[in-house]
């Protein structure tokens, strides 16, 4: 439950302040992992790279937000099932997409964020059978 509380705080700060980076809830060596089908796939390491990846999402979508549908405790991992919404800055098209995110935590801090375009993939990655 403690890890779930950390993730809830991260999203609360993210929604209120625009970035969880200065919150102290992220490890300095945190990894951001994009899905293989992302435009910018792969892993970014370190708090600065996390901030850059987060900024790229905001640069792509105006009014971007994440509405949490469910949070699942998987030990040192927490799965967030959510709906990403925003408007494409280039196209103006409204976007609303169900996604899954897996956060890995150690000592009360997030050390890894994995983004999945399909919620079931996030659950499987965390060892939760769906």
What pLDDT, on a 0 to 100 scale, did the predictor assign at position 22? 77
* CATH fold of the domain at 2-125: Nuclear Transport Factor 2; Chain: A, (3.10.450)
62: which 2 tokens? 């105006």
Q: What is the pTM of this model?
A: 0.91
Q: How far apart are CA 32 and CA 44, in angstroms?
A: 5
Q: How far apart are CA 95 and CA 114, in angstroms?
A: 20
Q: Domain map of the chain by residue range?
A: 2-125
Helix H or strand E encompassing 13: helix 2-17
What pLDDT, on a 0 to 100 scale, did the predictor assign at position 23? 81
Specify the length of the chain in residues: 130
Query: Strands 42-45 and 109-116, how do they pair?
Result: unpaired
Query: Strands 26-34 and 109-116, how do they pair?
Result: parallel
What pLDDT, on a 0 to 100 scale, did the predictor assign at position 116? 97
Per-residue pLDDT of the chain (130 residues; tens, 9 = 90+): 999 999 999 999 888 777 778 789 999 999 999 998 887 889 999 999 999 998 888 888 888 889 999 999 999 999 999 999 999 998 999 999 999 999 999 999 999 999 999 999 999 999 998 7
How many CA atoms are closer than 13 Å to the CA of 109, on its beta-carbon side?
A: 14
What pLDDT, on a 0 to 100 scale, did the predictor assign at position 111? 98
Q: How far apart are CA 54 and CA 81, in angstroms?
A: 18
What pLDDT, on a 0 to 100 scale, did the predictor assign at position 57? 84
| DSSP letters for 75-100 | TTEEEEEEEEEEEETTT--EEEEEEE
């Amino acid at each position: 439950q403690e890890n779930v509380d950390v993730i809830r705080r991260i999203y609360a700060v993210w929604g209120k302040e625009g970035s969880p980076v200065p919150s102290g809830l992220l490890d300095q060596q945190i990894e951001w992992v994009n899905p293989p089908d992302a435009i910018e796939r792969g892993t970014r390491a370190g708090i600065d790279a996390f901030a850059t990846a987060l900024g790229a999402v905001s640069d792509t979508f105006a009014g971007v937000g994440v509405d949490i549908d469910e949070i699942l405790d998987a030990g040192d991992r927490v799965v967030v099932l959510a709906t990403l919404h925003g408007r494409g800055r280039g196209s103006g098209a409204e976007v609303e997409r169900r996604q899954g995110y897996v956060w890995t935590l150690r000592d009360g801090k997030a050390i890894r964020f994995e983004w999945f375009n399909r919620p079931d993939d996030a659950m499987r990655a965390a060892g939760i059978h769906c």
